[in-house]
């Protein structure tokens, strides 16, 4: 299977899951996976939400931020991956002065 993100239109999402600011994403979604190159602009966040469809894995490409999963805070920086397991609650905040760029992969269960 090949996914060409150059052929998937980028969308802008204000206040994702009641978060703050603006997020840009290209969403691939099928019965097994949700794969999303994501950019959260400075000061923006993805609001707290329950991860219902499967494990949510967020690999950080650039920028800095924080993830909160079931009350645990994790620092985000390039080269790390934040994993929020199915049925957990999490949020992600861009704490830096540049875009927080990540690749999100949800393996549906």
Domain boundaries, the chain: 9-108
Q: Has this prediction a pTM greater than 0.85? A: yes
CA distances from 60 to 7, 32, 39, 64, 109 (A): 22, 22, 10, 8, 23
The DSSP bridge partners found for residue 94 are 65
The domain at 9-108 falls in which architecture?
Answer: Sandwich (2.60)
Instruction: State the average pLDDT over residues 47-68.
Output: 95
Asked if 51 and 28 touch (Cβ cutoff 8 Å), the reply is: no
4-39 confidence digits (pLDDT tens): 999 999 999 999 899 999 999 999 999 999 999 999
Residue 109: the pLDDT is 80
Residue 51: the pLDDT is 87
66-88 confidence digits (pLDDT tens): 999 999 999 999 999 999 999 99
Instruction: State the average pLDDT over residues 42-62.
Output: 94
């Amino acid at each position: 299977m090949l996914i060409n993100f150059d052929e998937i239109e980028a969308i802008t999402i204000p206040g994702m899951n009641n978060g703050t600011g603006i997020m840009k994403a290209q969403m691939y979604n099928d019965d097994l996976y949700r794969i999303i190159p994501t950019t959260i602009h400075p000061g923006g966040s993805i609001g707290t939400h329950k991860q219902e469809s499967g494990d949510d894995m967020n690999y950080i490409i650039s920028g800095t931020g924080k993830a909160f999963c079931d009350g645990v805070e994790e620092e985000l920086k390039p080269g790390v991956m934040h994993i929020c397991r199915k049925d957990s609650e999490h949020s992600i905040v861009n704490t830096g002065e540049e875009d927080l760029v990540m690749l999100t992969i949800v393996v549906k269960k």
